[in-house]
Structure 1
Amino acid sequence: MTETLIKGAAPEGGLTAVQGTALYVGAVLGTGVIALPALAAEAAGPASLLAWIAMVLVSAPLAASFAALGARFPDSGGVSTYARLAFGDRPAAVVGWCFYLAVPTGSSAAALFGGAYVSEALGGSTLTTVATAAGLMVAVTVFNAAGVKVAGRFQLAFVGLLIVLLLLALALSLPYARAANFQPFAPHGWSAIGPAAALLVWSFAGWEAITHLAAEFRRPARTVPLAAGLAVVIVGVLYVSVAFAVIAVLGPGAADTEAPLGELMARGLGGHARLLAAGAALLLTLGAMNAYYAGAAKLGAALGRDGALPAWLARGSVAGEVPRRSLGVISVLGFAALFATVLTRTGARPLVLLTTGSFVAVYAIGVAAAIRLLPRRSKGRAASFAALAAVVVLLAMSGGYLLWPLAVSGAALLYVGWRRRRAPRDGPPAAPTDGPFAARPATPDVVEASEVV
């Protein structure tokens, strides 16, 4: 497929490489670092460190693949746009729905993780956890309703503060590390590393989220890959360091706490440090939810524009516009998932696994699209082949939780089929005014895509 990129055909966004790095770090680092080191240690003991290292290695080609796609095809549809260019409307609708509907379940789980830290620090109850979670969801909705530039500035502040707090937790706790805490190294057997890695997919989901904001970057062809590369290094170092400290300092007791970061700080500063850890948890949660709400809101508008969701959602798909209708849908669905979890008392773990099942499906289609769309012999395409091998392993580890994205995929296909059956009665759809399928003005300033990526 031959594609061209036309300078000036779309409005230029205002996100810088530094703000983009902050969005990436917030989306990927997120709530995984405050909750999953303990959950992974419970699943595999000290051997969970191997799962963390493996996921860091897997995330590098994933990040490179999606960054190359975002640089080459900057559009608010993100992975859905890449699937449409590579495979057509139906796969685009499937991947768009899987991502869009994963964000409400994921955000409710993330908000509950942050709320658990506040509850533990204050000695509160489930009501404290739920109230904090609801407050977090309101806050990120307000930030994103103000526009992506405002969200980007908040994200930069969040990420800067959380890195300082994580480094503080490590510095305070590592003097209490004990080699004995690594014995036995694999208490549940080596096979337990697989289930631990399946949990950790949650921790490394996010490389695809920023593709929906690629058009909001200044000079996406340069800033998107740069931001992704910086984020891979920052996220990898912080994740492995915190996971090591949780095992080395807390030992078997790591599996008994919902707030491992608070326990690390408490070892160095005493019990009052849990308040500081609660603050770090809130920053991490806000950062992750902020990035996902921003990306999903843009995606919903693009899906409305392209006919994969009701056209009522299309407003806000153009770079620089705020997709408030799509954002409102995400917010409402997020609150519904939160209160359903509270009423059923299932906890956050099933939400994590349902969400990661959806993200693995998104990765599978997105990486396949990258292999088809990116130029031969390019670094991005080479990374996509490595990412595809990793995604196959992740699909195998997701097991029964793939039933959820399969159900969502079925619903997406039914909706697209219904829209097509109505099309003769409603008349042909209006030509899109933005995105990769919009009519472009004639201009001599054309750059071949192979020159960009």
Structure 2
Amino acid sequence: MGTRQAGQVAAERKGSVPVGRINFAQGTALYVGAVLGTGVLALPGLTAKAAGPASLVAWLALIVTSVPLAATFAALAARQPDSGGVSTYVRRAFGHRAATVVGWWFYLGAPVGIPALAFFGASYLERSTGGGWAATTGYAAGLLVVGFAANVFGVRVSGRVQLILSGSLALLLVLGILVALPHADPGNLRPFAPHGWSEIGPAAALLVWSFTGWETVTHLSAEFAHPQRDIKRATVGALLTIGVLYLGLATVTVLALGSVSGTTATSLASLLELGFGPFGKVLASVIAILTTLGTMNAYIAGTAKLGAALARDGALPGALGSGAEAGGVPRRSLSVVGAISGTVFLVAAATKSEVQPLVLSTTACLGAVYAIGSAAGARLLRHGTRWGMAAAMTSLATIVVLLALTGWYLIWPLLLAAAALAWCARHWPEPTESAASQP
């Protein structure tokens, strides 16, 4: 075994020592924050516009298909807790070059989507308060600063912040569902598919953004105090929480708003106004802040940790490797993530560009990560429980279909893959067999 491979295996094994600080509740909150993202602000109304009540089929289908994906990453993270996350599993399954490609997809793809999160929340706030593009830009800048500042002090602080954010968000969403229930009208379910059953597909495409995030917490797996026990428990808790909230919100949107849900992108605000009148806009603004900060916090923490792990393993400049260990604060890696997100934000703000390209570019990269990560899971888990391998194979088939929905945005992960392989060719010109790649 070469020195670099031995160091990689030792670093990965080191991650299994229970020296982290994230507990079950904080882990569940991080998952909820990563997956229950800014989609709750607009997508229930937008999908109803695309497919009518039949959009509920798309919601249910994606909730169900999230189970094998979440189960795959939970099984891998529990068996091999390491800040490298999916890239670590890919290294063990397919070698260092494949792991480098996957790591670059996430590390350079996710920061492009972080400003989109900020703009989502900021746009929702601007709809409630007014102020135009200047207000939207100011809100987005403020959200970005708070999100990155929370991670300067390490995952212990960000984990506590996430617990507060996700808990508050869940309570407010439940409140929004409950106050709208008295206004529910089963008649709004007819006709069930006003635009035809074929429109369920486009509705599902809109929802892909809402169901990314299961890979994010794998980069924080070594930060769990008891990863073998709590990662799986946190995954189950998050699946139940997210499934109930998403499906409940989508259902009450169709039942209570009916055709109104098809003409507005602020369906959550409309639901809250049914029960609270004008004060509903205030609650909607609070939810927008909590949702945006929660999702940003999870992605920033996971991406910064991944960058340090990649540098530790030689897939990025070694100077970024500090903080990869459990309990460490990857401030150098965090600064790179901040620089990328900040640059993207400034360009988007200056050009007043749409956030859709940012969203789809990030979705394409994360979809590619899911596909290779699921393939790695199918190989690594084949000697474990049958359900683990079955979950990995099922998630791989599902992700291939969802990945096709991103269309030409797949160019972005292809370019990053070429750049990553060029890095490997320069730094490791002679292929070597990695012991870490042995299942």
TM-score by length of 1: 0.89
Q: 2:393 maps to which residue?
A: 385
- The answer to whether structure 1 residue 273 and structure 2 residue 280 are counterparts is yes
CA distance in 1, matches of 2:105, 2:322: 21
Q: 1:403 maps to which residue?
A: 411
Q: 1:433 maps to which residue?
A: none
CA distance in 2, matches of 1:189, 1:114: 32
Q: What SS class does the counterpart of residue 13 from structure 1 fall into?
A: coil
| Cα RMSD after superposing both structures | 2.3
Cα 1:150–1:188 change in 2 (3 A) is same
Whether the aligned pair in 1 keeps the contact of 2:15 and 2:80 (CA below 8 Å) is: no
* Counterparts of residues 28-427 of structure 1 (less than 5 Å): 28-374=35-381, 375-421=383-429
The Cα of 1:261 is off from its aligned counterpart by 1.2
Q: 2:19 maps to which residue?
A: 12
Give the unaligned 5+ runs of structure 1: 429-435, 438-449
Cα 1:188–1:217 change in 2 (3 A) is same
- C-alpha offsets along residues 192-236 of structure 1, whole Å, 9 cap, x if unaligned? 222221221111111110000000001211111110011001100
Q: What SS class does the counterpart of residue 309 from structure 1 fall into?
A: coil
CA distance in 2, matches of 1:186, 1:346: 33
Aligned partner of 1:42: which letter? Answer: K
Q: What SS class does the counterpart of residue 318 from structure 1 fall into?
A: coil
Bigger mean CA deviation after superposition, 235-244 or 345-354? 345-354
| Percent identity of equivalent pairs | 52
Q: What SS class does the counterpart of residue 400 from structure 1 fall into?
A: helix
Q: 1:443 maps to which residue?
A: none
CA distance in 2, matches of 1:418, 1:253: 57
Q: What SS class does the counterpart of residue 115 from structure 1 fall into?
A: helix
Whether the aligned pair in 2 keeps the contact of 1:262 and 1:273 (CA below 8 Å) is: yes
Cα 1:8–1:251 change in 2 (3 A) is closer
CA distance in 2, matches of 1:247, 1:403: 36
TM-score by length of 2: 0.92
Runs of 4+ in 1 over 6 A off after TM superposition: 3-9
Whether the aligned pair in 1 keeps the contact of 2:13 and 2:80 (CA below 8 Å) is: no
The Cα of 1:44 is off from its aligned counterpart by 2.2
Cα 1:179–1:350 change in 2 (3 A) is farther
Whether the aligned pair in 2 keeps the contact of 1:24 and 1:207 (CA below 8 Å) is: yes
Give the unaligned 5+ runs of structure 2: 1-8
- C-alpha offsets along residues 31-87 of structure 1, whole Å, 9 cap, x if unaligned? 121122223223322221111101100111111100010011111000011111100
Bigger mean CA deviation after superposition, 130-139 or 404-413? 404-413
Matched positions, count: 425
CA distance in 2, matches of 1:351, 1:377: 38
CA distance in 2, matches of 1:91, 1:204: 24
Aligned partner of 2:251: which letter? Answer: F
The Cα of 1:9 is off from its aligned counterpart by 6.9
Aligned partner of 1:78: which letter? Answer: G
Q: 1:432 maps to which residue?
A: none
Q: 1:441 maps to which residue?
A: none
Cα 1:403–1:382 change in 2 (3 A) is same
Bigger mean CA deviation after superposition, 391-400 or 62-71? 391-400
Aligned partner of 1:325: which letter? Answer: R
Cα 1:281–1:170 change in 2 (3 A) is same
Cα 1:226–1:361 change in 2 (3 A) is same
Aligned partner of 1:134: which letter? Answer: A
CA distance in 2, matches of 1:346, 1:255: 24
Cα 1:357–1:7 change in 2 (3 A) is closer
Whether the aligned pair in 2 keeps the contact of 1:202 and 1:355 (CA below 8 Å) is: no
